[in-house]
């Protein structure tokens, strides 16, 4: 029995303990170095050998010892501020630093034991060093930037620079250059921004010091000590990098002899806060001054340009008026004909107005139309690299502005499934059938007579009182799909509905079905693949419900022209399958989700393939999904990141291929959420380049002449209070009276715990969730004891040429819905 226990312990993840209360005077450890295997960050395929140096609690690594000596570092990890976990049998060491998760592996047991021992010692030493002198420790870890690295440097005006100006500069441009050279205000603005940068660096150091005090035992329990603190001070939350310390401090009562030290620590914390506020006010004042300066100088340059434009354009306008006057007389007959056509048929007002200009006054309107529409777009865009280039784009160049990792399934990207032909043929016939039924109104009860809702019934609950560490501490490195979570951490949607959410921008596929050029068609498909991630940007604070085996979801959208259904086809492992049909496309996928918690972050690893068929061109596209990571699970502001590589290929043609890279960054970096990609032909020549951010938009081409392919719609009012849902997400769980009689009882809209959460009844939601989970466990046990295997009702399993199991529609859902309906299912299905 003991051998079995030891075996299980070696095969599971173990959290390495940190500095305990009262532990001090940790001896300085010896420097340790050597090679280890490190998992690639992205696209997260395989391991590579790296040379590591562990010194004073900081783990640095590079390709070789020579690179370390030259200072060519690939990364640096503060092990004192990281959650460390090990898996003895696999000889794995994982370090979760919030921004990154480092997966390390050692080949021999002896070297593994040595690294674990050294990392333990260095981690304790580093944490003790931080406790004793948090400011000094922070300064050594985060040195101030060199002056040359400051982004704003004052540039002294040069009196001799006029000679270098191009001869083609117009008089107006020369005035602008003169203004730039003579304006002392802009030099002052640059100096202010430089000082602001310096202050921001200091703020960063103070933030690190405040965080360090929160992460270590120096952060006292202010409530227990009853120290009168400022009312504006936020509650101190211990960081998860030292989980044992967090757990012990819950019931810790400080001895009287140590109360003075704790009060001094509290005083240091308050001083840091006050210093932080003072510098923050300076930053605000400097930025305000810089903004006012820029605004004033902007008006100066606008006046210069205005004066020049008036003189240059007056002659052009007079010439244009004369030309238009001649055109009006020539178009008299055309105007009469168009007016007659307009009265006899339904023509849009815009078509007529394009061809008829009735008065010379409309020259002014043409002049306005000639102004780039970037000023209109800039009001809606967000500040980022991808959005900033949009100011160069003409609105007519937008192809479509929509309305609203570690990928184990993508290792082999070259296969073409043997079952693709049969699936495509079946889907084509079903798509035609469903399209006819939608046109004939055969889907009774699918319409929302009073329009779709624009707000959820109740806001999301407060989760600040939930101790996630107590729930997750024993599940490091495990699949969290098997871990029961408090209902407050859920959002009132489940995974089956989340799959439907990926179709929010299905207009991109409709556009692709109308695009003759295969390379432009691939660009639109790529934009659709990226758009499916946009709704997750504000959703890091909650998780969808896990569907029950046999649970379904249906979504018919006449406004978008598609019919969607999904089903949970497997419970362990959890696999969700979906199928969507439209007159322009057929979309289906089956995805297995693996959720792993690493101490501070949670990785979501999708395994499966997304399929898209466009019947008009005989296209069948396939692509994989990227890894998703939710950072700061236990403390701080949670944020979500997607990283890895997507490969989109048309299995029916080798004419083009698309690769998209979701760049792995960090919360404060400029490339956070960035997407880069290209479409190339079969010879490998790049035809189109793609770039953007998955939460802001995707562009095709090279700035400034790139075209916006897609950008997400605006968020609804008070979206922060309602789970960060988009307008489309708000509508997914709505259950109107017309749908109650036609949906199967397995539909997610009937799930009581999810419905109670949506309505804000947490007590009922929690009790119903527990009851449903108990029912599921009992049902599964009974089926196993009686050797009963439940089969999905609306999907079937097929095996491709590479022996991969895939789930595709069995074409029964819409037929059964139409005749005789889902009445016959009611007696055999009782999920809740």
pLDDT, tens digit (0-9, with 9 covering 90-100), for 10-37: 568 888 888 887 787 889 999 999 999 9
> Which whole-number Å values give the CA distances from 182 to 156, 163, 190, 295, in the listed order?
10, 16, 14, 17
pLDDT value at 372 more than 50 = no
pLDDT digits (tens, 9 = 90+) for 99-133: 788 999 999 999 999 999 999 999 999 988 887 76
Query: Above 80 in pLDDT, residue 447?
Result: no
- Helical H segments across 251-344, by residue range: 259-330, 332-344
Retrieve residue 525's tokens: 């498909």
Asked if 643 and 627 count as a contact pair (C-beta separation under 8 A), the reply is yes
| Residue-range domain boundaries for the chain | 13-132, 486-817
Q: Which residues contact 818 (CB under 8 A, 6 or more apart)?
A: 437, 442, 443
pLDDT at position 208 over 90? no
**How far apart are the C-alpha atoms of 718 and 712, rounded to whole Å?**
17
Question: Between the CA of residue 769 and those of 81, 547, 760, what are the distances in Å?
Answer: 36, 12, 14
Within 666-817, strands assigned E span 674-681, 686-693, 697-700, 707-710, 795-799, 805-809
Distance CA 720, CA 724 (A): 5
| Pick from 763, 751, 811: nearest CA to 547 | 751
Q: Phi and psi of 686, rounded to 5°?
A: -75, 120
pLDDT at 790: 87
Distance CA 272, CA 232 (A): 14
Half-sphere exposure (Cβ direction) of 476: Cα atoms closer than 13 Å: 28
pLDDT bin (cut points 50, 70, 90) of residue 318 is low
pLDDT at residue 405 greater than cutoff 90:
no
- Position 737 scores a pLDDT of 87
The residues near 365 (Cβ < 8 Å, ≥ 6 apart) are: none
Q: Is the pLDDT of residue 296 over 80?
A: no
pLDDT score, position 465 = 80
Q: CB of 581 within 8 A of CB of 79?
A: no
> 259-330 and 184-215 are packed helices; what angle lies between their axes, rounded to 10 degrees?
140
Q: Which two tokens stand for residue 749?
A: 């809209």
3-state helix, strand, coil in the chain (%, to 5): 45, 20, 35
Mean pLDDT over each residue of the chain, to the nearest integer: 75
Find all residues with CB under 8 Å of 240, minimum gap 6, and list them: 83, 246, 469, 599, 600, 633, 634, 635
Residue 321 confidence (pLDDT): 61
Instruction: Please give the structure tokens belonging to residue 235.
Output: 């509650």
Between CA 574 and CA 404, with CA 631 as vertex, the angle to 5 degrees is 75
The closest alpha carbon to 413, from 77, 247, 657, belongs to: 657
* Contact yes or no for 239/469 (Cβ under 8 A): no
The answer on pLDDT for 568 being more than 50 is yes
pLDDT digits (tens, 9 = 90+) for 682-702: 999 999 999 999 999 999 999
Instruction: Look at residue 156 in the predicted model and tell me its pLDDT.
Output: 37
Helix crossing, 171-182 with 259-330: angle to 10°? 160
Per DSSP bridges, beta strands 543-545 and 490-494 are parallel
On the question of pLDDT at 351 being above 70, the answer is no
197, pLDDT greater than 80 = no
The H or E element containing residue 563 is strand 562-570
Distance, CA of 551 to CA of 496 (rounded, Å): 8
227 CB-near residues (< 8 Å, 6+ apart): 220, 263, 266
pLDDT band of 46, cuts 50, 70, 90: confident
Checking phi first, is residue 597 left (phi over 0); if not, alpha (psi -120 to 50) or beta?
A: beta
| pLDDT cut 90: percent of the chain above it | 42
Residue 758: in which H helix or E strand, if any? helix 752-758
The CATH fold assigned to 13-132 is PH-domain like (2.30.29)
User: pLDDT above 70 covers what percent of the chain?
Assistant: 63
222 has a pLDDT exceeding 80: no
Nearest to 735 by CA among 754, 745, 749, 753: 749
The CA-CA-CA angle for residues 309, 313, 314, to 5°, reads: 120
Mean pLDDT check: name the lowest of 255-269, 389-403, 580-594.
Answer: 389-403
Considering only CA atoms, which of 605, 624, 622 is closest in space to residue 613? 622
For the domain spanning 486-817, the CATH number is 2.40.160.120
pTM over 0.75: no
The CA distances from residue 725 to 347, 533, 631, 717, in Å, are 38, 13, 19, 10
The mean pLDDT value for 783-803 works out to 89
């Amino acid at each position: 029995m003991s051998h079995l226990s030891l075996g299980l312990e070696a095969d599971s993840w173990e959290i390495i303990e940190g500095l305990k209360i009262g532990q001090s005077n940790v001896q300085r450890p010896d420097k340790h170095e050597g090679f280890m295997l490190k998992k690639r960050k992205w696209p997260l395929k395989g391991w590579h050998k790296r040379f590591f140096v562990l010194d004073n609690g900081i783990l640095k690594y590079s390709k070789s010892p020579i690179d370390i000596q030259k200072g060519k570092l690939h990364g640096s990890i503060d092990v004192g501020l990281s959650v460390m976990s090990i898996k003895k049998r696999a000889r794995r060491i994982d370090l979760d630093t919030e921004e990154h998760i480092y997966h390390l592996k050692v080949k021999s047991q002896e070297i593994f034991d040595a690294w674990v021992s050294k990392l333990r010692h260095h981690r304790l030493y580093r944490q003790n060093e931080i406790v004793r002198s948090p400011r000094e420790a922070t300064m050594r870890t985060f040195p101030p930037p060199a002056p040359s690295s400051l982004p704003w440097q004052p540039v002294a005006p040069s009196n001799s620079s006029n000679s270098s100006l191009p001869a083609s500069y117009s008089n107006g441009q020369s005035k602008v250059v003169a203004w730039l050279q003579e304006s002392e205000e802009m030099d002052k603005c640059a100096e202010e921004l430089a000082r602001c940068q310096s202050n921001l660096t200091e703020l960063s150091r103070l933030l690190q010091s405040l965080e360090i005090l929160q992460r270590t035992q120096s952060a006292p329990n202010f409530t227990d000590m009853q120290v009168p603190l400022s009312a504006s001070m936020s509650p101190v939350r211990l960081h998860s990098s030292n989980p044992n310390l967090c757990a012990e401090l819950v019931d810790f009562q400080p001895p009287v002899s140590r109360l003075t030290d704790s009060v001094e620590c509290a005083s240091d914390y308050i001083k840091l806060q006050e210093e932080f506020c003072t510098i923050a006010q300076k930053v605000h004042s400097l930025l305000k001054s810089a903004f006012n300066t820029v605004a004033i100088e902007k008006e100066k340059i606008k006046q210069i340009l205005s004066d020049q434009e008036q003189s240059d354009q007056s002659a052009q306008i007079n010439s244009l008026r004369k030309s238009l006057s001649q055109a009006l007389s020539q178009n008299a007959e055309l105007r009469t004909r168009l007016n007659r056509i307009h009265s006899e048929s339904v023509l849009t007002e815009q078509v007529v107005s394009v061809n008829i200009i009735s008065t010379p006054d409309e020259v002014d309107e043409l002049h306005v139309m000639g102004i780039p529409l970037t000023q209109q777009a800039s009001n809606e865009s967000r500040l980022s690299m991808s959005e900033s280039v949009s100011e160069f784009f003409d609105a007519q160049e937008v192809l479509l502005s929509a309305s609203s990792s570690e990928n184990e399934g993508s290792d082999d990207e070259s296969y073409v499934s043997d079952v693709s032909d049969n699936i495509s043929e079946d889907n084509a016939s079903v798509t035609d059938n469903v399209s006819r039924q939608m046109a004939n109104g055969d889907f009774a009860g699918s319409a929302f007579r009073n329009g779709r809702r624009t707000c959820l019934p109740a806001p999301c609950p407060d989760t600040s009182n939930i101790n996630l560490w107590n729930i997750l501490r024993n599940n490091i490195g495990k699949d969290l799909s098997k871990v029961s979570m408090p209902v407050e951490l859920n959002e009132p949607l489940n995974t089956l509905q989340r799959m439907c959410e990926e179709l929010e921008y299905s207009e991109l596929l409709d556009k692709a079905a109308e695009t003759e050029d295969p390379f432009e068609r691939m660009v639109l498909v790529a934009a659709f693949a990226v758009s499916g991630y946009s709704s997750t940007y504000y959703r890091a604070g909650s998780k969808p419900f896990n569907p029950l085996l046999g649970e379904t979801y249906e979504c018919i959208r006449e406004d978008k022209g598609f019919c969607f259904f999904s089903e949970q086809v497997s419970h362990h492992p959890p696999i969700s399958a979906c199928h969507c049909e439209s007159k322009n496309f057929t979309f289906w996928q089956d995805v297995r989700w693996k959720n792993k918690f690493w101490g501070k972050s949670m990785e979501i690893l999708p395994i499966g393939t997304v399929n898209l068929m466009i019947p008009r061109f005989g296209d069948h596209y396939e692509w994989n999904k990227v890894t998703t990571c939710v950072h700061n699970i236990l403390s701080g502001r949670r944020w979500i990141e997607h990283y890895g590589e997507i490969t989109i290929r048309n299995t029916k043609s080798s004419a083009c291929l698309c690769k998209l890279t979701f760049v792995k960054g960090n919360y404060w970096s400029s490339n956070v959420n960035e997407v880069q990609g290209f479409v190339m032909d079969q010879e490998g020549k790049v035809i189109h380049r793609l770039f953007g951010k998955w939460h802001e938009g995707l562009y095709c081409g090279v700035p400034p002449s790139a075209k916006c392919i897609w950008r997400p719609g605006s968020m609804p009012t008070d979206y922060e209070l309602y789970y960060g849902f988009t307008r489309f997400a708000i509508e997914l769980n709505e259950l109107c009276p017309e749908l109650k009689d036609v949906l199967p009882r397995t539909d997610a809209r009937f799930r009581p715990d999810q419905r109670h959460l949506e309505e804000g009844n947490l007590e009922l939601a929690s009790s119903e969730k527990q009851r449903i989970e108990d029912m599921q466990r009992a049902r599964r046990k009974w089926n196993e004891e009686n050797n009963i295997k439940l089969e999905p009702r609306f999907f079937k399993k097929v095996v491709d040429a590479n022996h991969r199991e895939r789930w595709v529609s069995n074409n029964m859902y819409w037929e059964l819905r139409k005749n005789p309906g889902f009445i016959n299912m009611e007696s055999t299905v009782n999920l809740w």
